[in-house]
């Protein structure tokens, strides 16, 4: 049973007067109490709203807004990710580093979806396995930042959901009203996703595409939660996205983001960098997958091409020994970012490919399933990452450098990465078949 709720719900809803002594409060009240406790924990990367009263009003309006995704769609994704965790499918996830209101056009959304579908088609043809597709879309409007101010001394741009990239004090002031605009843009993007999927259902790489974003801005994430008692325990289902992930900068075990994520019935991702110990990884798994549901948790390694072969094996061994069946996914982007000689943040396609190669090498050696990749890319012909068959150089970066935050692969580079990944994935499938025989 799934029941739509508006939050914050009454955290202390009374038990019926004729209930036996000691009767537990209803699931709605118990979940509300747990949500309140989770959100009271320390929360990193949150803006300070200049008008807290307005922020509360916006949260209340969001709680009455239309859902972005349906529970049935999310359930289908959970089933697909369970297949990935069992080694029966692969996962490809990708899209913009940060969505923007201005770029949320039909042409841009469709270009990104075509590129994602193309990558899935390449993987599916080469491996013969189903490919689960998740877009970084319909909610990726907030970004964690390493500094609170930029080089000009202005508050740093934190994504269109929070402030504007325009370099003025007024534009950079956090504005809670932007959460309403983000919801409206997300709803529009989701409409385009559904239309695209219907149009391409019979094509190679076609079929359902789910949407995802980083669960970063808790004032936004706490809205549109539903009590969901269909699983192993009462939980909350987010109607803001099918798949939500917790980032490297907000994954404190004692923090609000992890406490929030463990309340959700949606499939959850967790970014783990080179500083993650095997013991910490196992602790995250126990917190976020307490009922040992295959595919419930996706561990997204973002180590860097020069560290993944050294750091990842012990983590995989520790988690595998725990008996949890997680999805192992490689983010080859965030550990391979550098600043070019001409001042642009960029990534080298060779380093991206090498991290994916290392990811497959580790899993082949350990006999575990390399579940998929998570990349930042666009279907447009940008010049943000160097390398690839066209040989984009640092001198080419200013030509079409359009990202709102981090550099993305263009459609051609994304196809090249998919082709390389498909070869390694096909070898993993062949190897697994040989072991089974």
Q: What is the DSSP string of 224-293?
A: SEEEE-SSSS-EEEESS-SEEEE-GGG--TTSHHHHHHTTB-S-EEEEE-TT--HHHHHHHHHHH-TT--
pLDDT score of 7: 37
pLDDT score of 291: 98
Does the pLDDT of residue 256 top 70, yes or no? yes
Bridge partners, 376 (sequence order): 95
State mean pLDDT over 134-154: 96
Bridge partners, 43 (sequence order): none
Does the pLDDT of residue 102 top 90, yes or no? yes
Give pLDDT tens digits for 241-251.
Answer: 999 999 999 99
pLDDT band at 113 (very low <50, low <70, confident <90, very high): very high
pLDDT score of 415: 98
d(CA 408, CA 422): 20
Does the pLDDT of residue 154 top 60, yes or no? yes
- Longest Cα pair distance anywhere in the chain, in angstroms? 76
Does the pLDDT of residue 2 top 50, yes or no? no
pLDDT band at 314 (very low <50, low <70, confident <90, very high): very high
All domains of the chain, ordered by start, with CATH?
Answer: 26-436 (3.20.20.70)
pLDDT band at 187 (very low <50, low <70, confident <90, very high): very high
pLDDT score of 437: 43
d(CA 217, CA 144): 9
Averaged pLDDT score across all residues of the chain: 93
Do 355 and 302 form a contact (C-beta atoms < 8 A)?
Answer: no
Do 409 and 385 form a contact (C-beta atoms < 8 A)?
Answer: yes
Report the 3 state secondary structure along 223-239: CCEEEECCCCCCEEEEC
**Closest to 399 in 3D by CA, of 379, 382, 411:** 382
Q: pTM for the full model? A: 0.94
| Residue that is written with structure tokens 């029941």 in the block | 3
For 218, residues 6+ apart whose C-beta sits below 8 A from its C-beta are 39, 43, 46, 256, 257, 260
d(CA 372, CA 363): 11
Does the pLDDT of residue 16 top 50, yes or no? no
Bridge partners, 246 (sequence order): 270
State mean pLDDT over 201-220: 97
d(CA 254, CA 173): 29
Q: What is the SS3 assignment for 375? A: strand
Considering Cα of 38, then 41, then 42, then 48, what sign does the dihedral take?
A: positive
pLDDT band at 433 (very low <50, low <70, confident <90, very high): low
Does the pLDDT of residue 6 top 60, yes or no? no
């Amino acid at each position: 049973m799934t029941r739509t709720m508006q939050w914050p719900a009454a955290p202390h809803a009374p038990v019926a007067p004729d209930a036996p002594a000691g009767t537990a409060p209803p699931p709605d009240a118990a979940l509300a109490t747990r949500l309140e406790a989770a959100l009271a924990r320390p929360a990193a990367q949150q803006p300070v709203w200049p008008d807290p009263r307005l922020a509360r009003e916006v949260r209340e309006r969001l709680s009455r807004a239309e859902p972005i995704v349906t529970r049935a769609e999310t359930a289908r994704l959970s089933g697909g990710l369970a297949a990935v965790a069992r080694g029966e499918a692969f996962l490809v996830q990708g899209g913009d580093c940060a969505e923007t209101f201005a770029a949320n056009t039909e042409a841009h959304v469709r270009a990104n979806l075509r590129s994602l579908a193309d990558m899935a088609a390449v993987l599916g043809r080469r491996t013969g396995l189903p490919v689960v597709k998740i877009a970084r879309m319909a909610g990726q409007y907030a970004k964690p930042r390493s500094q609170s101010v930029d080089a000009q001394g202005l508050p740093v741009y934190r994504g269109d959901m929070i402030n504007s990239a325009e370099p003025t004090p007024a534009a950079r002031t956090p504005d809670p009203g932007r959460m309403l605009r983000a919801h409206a843009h997300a709803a529009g993007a989701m409409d385009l996703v559904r239309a695209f999927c219907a149009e391409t259902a019979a094509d190679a790489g076609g079929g359902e595409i789910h949407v995802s974003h980083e669960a970063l801005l808790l004032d936004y994430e706490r809205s549109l939660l539903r009590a969901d008692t269909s699983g192993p325990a009462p939980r909350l289902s987010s109607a803001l996205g099918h798949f939500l992930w917790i980032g490297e900068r907000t994954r404190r075990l004692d923090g609000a983001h992890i406490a929030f994520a463990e309340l959700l019935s949606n499939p959850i991702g967790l970014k783990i960098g080179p500083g993650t110990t095997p013991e910490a990884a196992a602790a995250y798994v126990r917190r976020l997958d307490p009922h040992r549901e295959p595919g419930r948790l996706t561990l997204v390694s973002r180590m860097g091409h020069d560290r993944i072969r050294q750091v990842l094996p012990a983590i995989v061994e520790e988690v595998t020994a725990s008996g949890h069946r997680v999805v192992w996914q490689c983010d080859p982007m965030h550990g391979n970012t550098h600043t070019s000689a001409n001042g642009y943040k960029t990534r080298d396609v060779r380093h991206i490919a090498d991290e994916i190669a290392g990811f497959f090498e580790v899993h082949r050696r350990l006999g575990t399933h390399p579940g998929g990749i998570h990349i930042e890319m666009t279907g447009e012909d940008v010049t943000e990452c160097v390398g690839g068959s066209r040989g984009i150089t640092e001198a080419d970066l200013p030509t079409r450098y359009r990202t709102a935050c981090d550099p993305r692969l263009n459609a051609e580079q994304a196809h090249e990465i998919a082709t390389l990944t498909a070869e390694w994935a096909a070898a993993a499938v062949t190897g697994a078949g040989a072991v089974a025989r």
